[in-house]
Structure 1
Amino acid sequence: MRILAFDTSTEYCTAALLMDGDLTYREVHAGQTHSQLLLPMCQDLLAGAGVSLAQLDGIAFGAGPGSFTGLRIACAVAQGLAFGADVPVLGVGTLLALAEASGAARVIACLDARMGEVYHAVYRREASDWIAESGPLLCAPRQVPAVAGLDWCGCGSGFKAYAEPLQARYGAALVSICPELYPHAREIARLAMPRIEAGQGMAAELAVPLYIRDKVALKICER
């Protein structure tokens, strides 16, 4: 399988190329320059591997939740590249990518959503697959869903921005916390591979971001 993957849902811009089990990637702390960086990163990966877009089995992107602008960039680039090369597209959840990156079997994935809220999901690994126990959803840090049992790994920027309320909520259930983790194209490529192989890729025009928050333009008092 040959899969090009990328993510622009956070301040990082990442791209990865998975070719028959071998993974290469690029990453940059982009700030707000994702639109300038993403295509050159993808082109660099393809050129380095000596493959064209038309030789890919699929293109995967971080579908969200995350930065509204970043999600639109990733989706638009995926659509443009896939349409021209006639290859399928697959959106992969950013919170699921966080869970995959953690290396843990029980994960509370939490991204800072700004405006005093977090993007949140709870995942449990079974064999080679992930089971979503809750989410993805948007909520205040003090209102995140409870989890059953112990040995949970908390990961993502939400655990940095709202460390106190999240640790108070989960207490002894948390065996480790990885606030430095962020959604990355490496994990998006790995998660996409079996789904694309199973024929779950879609036509370019059907790809859409997962926003969750619909009224981003409203002030906190209006919300």
Structure 2
Amino acid sequence: MQTDFSRPVLAIDTSTSFLSLALRVGGKTIIRHEEAGNKQSELILPNIGAMLAEAGITAADLGVLVYAQGPGAFTGLRIGTGVAQGLATPFDIPLVGVPCLDAVAYQITAPCVLAATDARMGEVFYAWFDTQRQQRLSDYLVGKAVEIEVPTTESTPQGVGNAFALDDKPPFAGRADMPTAADYLQLAASGRYPATDAAHAELLYVRNKIALTAKEQAERKGGRP
């Protein structure tokens, strides 16, 4: 599906507890980035409406919609993708999904980058990248941070993502920086990610289980169910 990034572009990231939106119109980018908690579904459409009004356009003027594809918060991802599909469908606007770990990794330019984010349940989502050559070096994975194996390389690994702010963090130093929707927009404009119509927009899942059972929660706390 063809994309036209010369027209207005809206990017949506609801993969974390933040509501992050970016609207690029001409040479100007309007950004909304705020902690939303469990209020993303309440806040997302009013914020998008305000941004479109500020830019003096409507959804029909959008040339591309960019969305965070995952992995990330299950409910948040579904909210963001659902809104993107709802906006795109009436006007046949192409959608571009950008994997969340890619957006995390490309905050750094280096030959060996670990992008790692909080996956809850004592685990992290992660992947290795060579952002200098624009290559992903591993699959998208989920597991315990301490079990992440550093690849054999002459380059010093650099880490980035909110997993580095956890108590159980990856086994080397890293920055806890996270991207905004503007970073997703920039990556989508690179042309490296395919466009699709609204009906075929997909999320990227690397874990089927989304919550601990009551027994597992109790065991993690050292108690009994």
The answer to whether the superposition gives a TM-score over 0.5 is yes
TM-score (normalised: structure 2): 0.84
CA distance in 2, matches of 1:122, 1:70: 24
What residue number does 1:97 align with? Answer: 103
Q: How many residues are treated as equivalent by the alignment? A: 209
The answer as to 2:197 corresponding to 1:203 is yes
- Please give the residue correspondences for 1:4-43 in structure 2 after superposition, counting only pairs within 5 Å: 4-43=10-49
CA distance in 1, matches of 2:191, 2:47: 24
SS of equivalent to 1:64 = coil
- TM superposition shift of 1:135: 2.6
- TM superposition shift of 1:145: 3.4
Letter in 2 for 1:123: F
Counterpart contact for 1:95–1:183, Cα < 8 Å: no
- Greater shift in the superposed pair: 21-30 or 54-63: 21-30
What residue number does 2:132 align with? Answer: 126
Counterpart contact for 2:109–2:132, Cα < 8 Å: no
Counterpart contact for 2:150–2:157, Cα < 8 Å: no
- TM superposition shift of 1:104: 5.0
What residue number does 1:212 align with? Answer: 206
TM-score (normalised: structure 1): 0.85
- Return structure 1 stretches of 4+ with deviation > 6 angstroms: none
Unaligned 5+ residue runs, structure 2?
A: 1-5, 218-225
Q: For 1:160-181, what per-residue CA distance to the aligned partner results, in whole angstroms no more than 9, with x for missing partners? A: 11455x23xx4xxx5xx211x2
Letter in 1 for 2:137: E
SS of equivalent to 1:54 = helix
- Say which of 173, 178, 181 aligns to 2:175: 178
CA distance in 2, matches of 1:30, 1:192: 24
Seq. identity, %: 34
SS of equivalent to 2:93 = coil
Counterpart contact for 1:7–1:183, Cα < 8 Å: no
CA distance in 2, matches of 1:71, 1:192: 17
- TM superposition shift of 1:202: 0.6
Counterpart contact for 1:10–1:183, Cα < 8 Å: no
Indicate the structure with greater helix content.
1
